[in-house]
């Protein structure tokens, strides 16, 4: 019996049943309530807010540099106050919207307190944005640092949360540290270090190395998710990095991601680009008479 079209894309993540595996990731575009609501109206399974921080930087430019294969950005955290975010999250919760609050702070204890306060708004899930490479600590992530942040949050809230990590050195050790400390899921990948140089003047663009995202990191993230699944990691994974088309979503699901985040591509014609990806995934599922659940992990070697 054929699966009903409206049920093909349904999936589970962070305690929520989502209508689509396509989730909008955290960034400048998700710093506004109207953008979040419109993306959900366009069919996003969920939207992750820009990272909420109790003491975000008040000065300095948040710049974006477009590259042929993606984007460099010098952004860090939302400059909206925690009070403003909590009021917004409460409105989302009242409307039953699948919004995931991205949070970070200056210490594990402070992050735990922030997570507790966000949970009190009725927000349904969290993402710990602890590995932003545009911050000094994000460049030197360690399993111990990851575990400390996760433990502090787990002690103060039972709300489901994912830990957003960047692929790179000791990825598996950091993933296992997060899960052993109490994380419910892992998000891969945050931006990785990137640098651009003006070939005429030799000037380093943006003044240094900053977060790189886009098509260039997709093979790296796919390989990392594939390896984690091969090594027996069974926790839910929110995969992402370089998603531009519906086929990219299918690839991520195939190697074991449970849902797929899209962000960088949305910096060009945000709503139209998102609709093309979302509608493309729905069309792919229909044309192949399959479901998201059937796609997850299909590329992995069969065990036994």
- CATH fold of 5-61+77-193+214-295, please? TIM Barrel (3.20.20)
**155 to each of 1, 104, 254, how far by Cα in Å?**
46, 16, 34
Residue 24: per-residue pLDDT = 98
Residue 59: per-residue pLDDT = 60
pTM: 0.95
Residue 4: per-residue pLDDT = 38
In order, the DSSP letters of the chain are -PPPGGGTT-EEETTEEES-SEEEPSSGGGSSHHHHHHHHHTT-SEEEPSPB-SS---SS---EEEETTEEEE---S--S-HHHHHHHHHHHHHTT--EEEEE--SSHHHHHHHHHHHHTTT--EEEE-TT-TTSGGGGG--HHHHHHHHHHHHHH--S-EEEEE-SSTTHHHHHHHHHHTT-SEEEE---EEE--B-TTT-PBGGGS-EEEESGGGHHHHHHHHHHHHHTT--S-EEEESS--SHHHHHHHHHTT-SEEEE-GGGGSSHHHHHHHHHHHHHHHHHHTT--HHHHTTTTSPPP-
Residue 170: per-residue pLDDT = 93
Q: Are 85 and 114 in contact (CB under 8 A)?
A: no
Residue-by-residue pLDDT tens, the chain, 304 positions: 334 346 899 999 999 999 999 999 999 999 999 999 999 999 999 999 999 999 987 766 678 899 998 999 988 899 999 999 999 999 999 999 999 999 999 999 999 999 999 999 999 999 999 988 656 555 578 999 999 999 999 999 999 999 999 999 899 999 999 999 999 999 999 999 999 999 999 999 999 999 999 999 999 999 999 999 999 999 999 999 999 999 999 999 999 999 999 999 999 999 999 999 999 999 999 999 999 999 999 999 987 5
- Two structure tokens written together for 155: 């002690």
Residue 18: per-residue pLDDT = 97
């Amino acid at each position: 019996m054929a699966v009903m079209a409206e049920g093909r894309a349904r999936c589970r993540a962070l305690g929520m049943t989502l209508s689509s595996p396509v989730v909008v990731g955290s960034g400048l575009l998700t710093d506004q309530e109207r953008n979040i609501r419109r993306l959900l109206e366009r069919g996003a399974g969920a939207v992750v807010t820009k990272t909420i921080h109790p003491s975000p930087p008040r000065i300095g430019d948040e710049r974006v540099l477009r590259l042929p294969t993606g984007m460099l950005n010098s952004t860090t955290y939302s400059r909206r106050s925690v009070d403003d975010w909590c009021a917004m999250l409460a409105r989302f919760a009242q409307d039953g919207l699948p919004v995931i609050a991205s949070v970070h702070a200056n210490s594990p204890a402070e992050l735990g307190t922030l997570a507790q306060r966000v949970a009190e708004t009725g927000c349904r899930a969290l993402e710990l944005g602890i590995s932003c490479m545009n911050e000094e600590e994000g460049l030197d992530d360690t399993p111990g640092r990851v575990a400390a942040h996760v433990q502090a949050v787990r002690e103060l809230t039972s709300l489901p949360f994912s830990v957003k990590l960047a692929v790179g050195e000791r990825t598996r050790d950091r993933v296992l540290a997060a899960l052993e400390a109490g994380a419910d899921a892992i998000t891969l990948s945050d931006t990785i270090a990137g640098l651009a140089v003006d070939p005429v003047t030799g000037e380093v663009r943006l003044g240094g190395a900053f977060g790189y995202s886009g098509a260039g990191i997709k093979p790296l993230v796919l390989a990392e998710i594939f390896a984690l699944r091969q090594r027996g990691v069974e926790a839910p994974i929110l995969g992402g990095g370089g998603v531009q088309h519906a086929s990219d979503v299918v690839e991520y699901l195939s190697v074991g991601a449970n849902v797929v985040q899209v962000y960088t591509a949305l910096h060009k014609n945000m709503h139209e680009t998102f609709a093309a990806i979302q509608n493309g995934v729905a069309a792919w599922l229909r044309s192949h008479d399959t479901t998201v659940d059937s796609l997850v992990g299909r590329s992995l070697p069969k065990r036994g």
